[in-house]
């Protein structure tokens, strides 16, 4: 095995890791704000991928042009999910934690069924894109352009999320997260912040979904696997930590790719799960977690 092969695989893992990180960022944002693990997160990703696929199929527009519209659509969906379901789940008096888990789980099943109803259960993929099937050669290491673009877009999205964190709104978000009752006293509308947090989290997944749709198949069940990886990423990085999601996503992408190369392709996920458990033994709140 040559260095080139290892490098080749590592680059692939790194780029995939950036996508994992972006999916996890949305989950982490919602968790950090409301202490809710969204079990329908993978289904949001699936919907974003389908939206991209359908618009491309009907209009032939390049998926890259769909980044903004799909992100906005997912934002609206996130806000709607908050107002229709999560606001209610937050106000129940019994078993609040479990109600949240199972409401989002029910939503996941519902969305999966809805996707199957609308699009059928066949695998679909986008055939043409300005980016599709291009690679460029970097000293013997071939870099796939769609994945590279996805990685760059993911980093830009992280930049935007960090920037939002520095605005007045971001500070309100942080304050709500620290003490959701006290913020009402200083004139912050908690409901609006929560809704915006859900919107932002869903939009992050939306961007990941568009980029993923360029080089990955779409099916009603595609979200499940990415969601599992996102949970692991968020727990590894630390719930509620944006930086944690980024670092953990990259780490998990690398470990997955290298396990596939060095140990056994069908066990690639075992490698990343094992790393996660090992880290959790020493840092029970993840790499950057404080909660």
Partner 1 sequence: MQTSITRRRRLELLIGAVLLVALALLPLPIHDVYTRNLIIITVLFAGLAQAWNILGGYCGQISLSHALYFGAGAYVSTLLLTRAGLPPTIGMFAGGALGGLMALLVGWPCFRLSGHYYAIATVVVGEIFFLLALNWDWIGGATGINIPYSRAIGDSWLWLQFRIDKLPYHYAALAFAAVAWLVAWLIEGSRWGFVWRAVKDDPIAARSLAVRVFPSKMAAAAISGALTGIGGAIYAQYVGYIDPDSVLHGQLSILIPLPAVLGGVGTLWGPLVGAGVLIPLSELTRSYLGGSGRGVDLMIYGGLIILVALARPQGLASLIGVRVRAPAGADDARAA
Under a CB-based contact definition with an 8 Å cutoff, are residues 210 and 52 in contact? Answer: yes
Q: Is 252 exposed, middle or buried (0-12, 13-18, 19+ CB in 10 A)?
A: buried
Beta-carbon contacts of 91 under 8 Å, excluding residues fewer than 6 positions away, are none
Q: State which of residues 7, 65, 105, 190 lies at the interface with partner 1 (CB under 8 A).
A: 105
Residue nearer to partner 1 on the CB measure, 17 or 271: 271
Spatial separation of the C-alpha atoms in residues 194 and 34, rounded to whole Å: 7
Q: Does 247 bind partner 1 (CB under 8 A)?
A: no
Q: Which stretch binds partner 1 (CB under 8 A): 45-53, 98-106, 139-147, 207-215?
A: 98-106
Count of Cβ atoms closer than 10 Å to residue 76 Cβ: 13
267 binds partner 1 (CB under 8 A): yes
For residue 215, count other CB atoms closer than 10 A to its CB.
Answer: 22
Footprint of partner 1 on 111-130 (CB under 8 A) = 111-117, 120-121
78, 220, 223, 244: which one binds partner 1 (CB under 8 A): 220
262 in contact with partner 1 (CB under 8 A) = no
Size of the site for partner 1 (CB under 8 A): 54
Residue 140 binds partner 1, judged by CB under 8 A: no
List the end-to-end C-alpha distance of the chain, in Å, as a whole number.
43
Alpha-carbon torsion 191, 174, 209, 113, what sign? negative
Q: Give the one residue of 20, 31, 194, 288 binding partner 1; rule: CB under 8 A.
A: 31
**Is 14 near partner 1 (CB under 8 A)?**
no
237-to-11, 230, 234, 247 alpha-carbon distances in Å:
21, 10, 5, 7
Distance CA 177, CA 156 (A): 24
Quick one: which segment of 17-25, 67-75, 91-99, 252-260 binds partner 1 (CB under 8 A)?
A: 91-99
Q: Are 208 and 152 in contact (CB under 8 A)?
A: no
Q: How many CA within 13 A on the CB side of residue 135?
A: 11
Q: Which is nearer to partner 1, 175 or 280 (CB)?
A: 280
Q: Which of 106, 135, 138, 162 binds partner 1 (CB under 8 A)?
A: 106
Q: Does 286 bind partner 1 (CB under 8 A)?
A: yes
Residue number, 144 or 220, with CB nearest to partner 1: 220
Q: Would you tell me which residues interact with partner 1 (CB under 8 A)? A: 31, 35, 37, 85, 88-89, 92-103, 105-117, 120-121, 220, 228, 231-232, 234-235, 239, 264, 266-267, 269-270, 273-274, 276-277, 280-281, 284-286
């Amino acid at each position: 095995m040559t260095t080139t092969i290892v490098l080749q695989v590592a680059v692939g893992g790194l780029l995939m890791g950036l996508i994992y990180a972006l999916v996890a960022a949305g989950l982490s944002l919602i968790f950090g704000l409301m202490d809710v693990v969204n079990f329908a997160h993978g289904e949001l990703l699936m919907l974003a991928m389908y939206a991209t696929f359908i618009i491309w199929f009907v209009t032939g527009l390049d998926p890259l042009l769909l980044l903004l519209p799909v992100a906005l659509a997912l934002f609206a969906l996130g806000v709607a999910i908050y107002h229709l379901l999560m606001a209610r789940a937050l106000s129940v008096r019994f078993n609040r934690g479990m109600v949240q888990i199972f409401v989002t789980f029910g939503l996941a099943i519902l969305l999966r069924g809805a996707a199957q109803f609308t699009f059928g259960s066949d695998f679909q993929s986008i055939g043409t894109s300005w980016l599709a099937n291009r690679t460029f050669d970097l000293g013997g290491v071939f870099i796939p352009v769609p994945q590279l673009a996805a990685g760059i877009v993911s980093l830009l999205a992280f930049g935007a999320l960090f920037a939002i964190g520095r605005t007045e709104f971001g500070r309100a978000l942080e304050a709500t997260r620290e003490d959701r009752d006290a913020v009402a006293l200083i004139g912050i509308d908690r409901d609006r912040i929560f809704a915006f947090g859900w919107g932002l989290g869903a939009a992050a997944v939306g961007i990941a979904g568009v980029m993923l749709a360029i080089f990955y198949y779409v099916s009603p069940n595609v979200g499940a696997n990415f969601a599992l990886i996102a949970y692991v990423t968020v727990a590894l990085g630390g719930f509620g930590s944006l930086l944690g999601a980024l670092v953990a996503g990259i780490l998990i992408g690398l470990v997955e790719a290298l396990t596939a190369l060095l140990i056994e392709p069908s066990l690639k996920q075992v490698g990343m799960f094992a790393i996660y458990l090992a880290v959790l033994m020493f840092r029970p709140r993840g790499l950057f977690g404080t909660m």
